[in-house]
Structure 1
Amino acid sequence: MMEFLYFPEDKSEYIPAIISLLIFVVGAVITMYIIVKASRKQERKSDENYQTPANQEQKN
């Protein structure tokens, strides 16, 4: 038998692992949301600062 694998008989031992996994997943999702939001803001700011006259004419 594989001695190095441990599967507890009492399934309540999985609860702390599931809770910590959920905390890290939620943290990763929140971090990704913040990064995407900041990236979009930076892109808009960059577009405003570096518009060429040809791009300005197309938008009007």
Structure 2
Amino acid sequence: MFSYILAFTFLYFPKDKTEYIPAVISLVIFSLFAYFTFILFRKISKKEEKKTKELEERLKNSGTVD
């Protein structure tokens, strides 16, 4: 119980709510970067999956590695 009370003493809730604006802006920016990075990783993964499937098909058909 004491640890919870101690943790709440470090919280800061400003009376002037405009102090939240920079935090919200940076949150939005980093969230957008995270989202676009995720999309980029998915595109790269799809390309690699396609290449792997093509290689697998070639190996099945020919039995040797080019």
Q: TM-score, normalised by structure 1?
A: 0.79
Q: Per-residue deviation at 1:50?
A: 1.4
Structure 2 residue 60 is matched with structure 1 residue 33: no
CA distance in 2, matches of 1:47, 1:39: 12
Query: Gapped runs of 5+ residues in structure 1?
Result: 54-60
Query: Gapped runs of 5+ residues in structure 2?
Result: 1-7, 62-66
Q: Deviations over 1:7-50 (max 9, x none)?
A: 00000000000000000000000000000000000000110111
Task: Give the structure, 1 or 2, with the largest relative contact order (CA under 8 Å, sep 6 or more).
Answer: 2
Aligned positions of 1:1-60 closer than 5 A: 3-51=9-57, 52-53=60-61
Percent identity, aligned pairs only, is 48
Q: Per-residue deviation at 1:4?
A: 2.0
Aligned residues: 53
Runs of 4+ with deviation above 2 angstroms: none
Q: TM-score, normalised by structure 2?
A: 0.73
SS in 1 for 2:12: coil
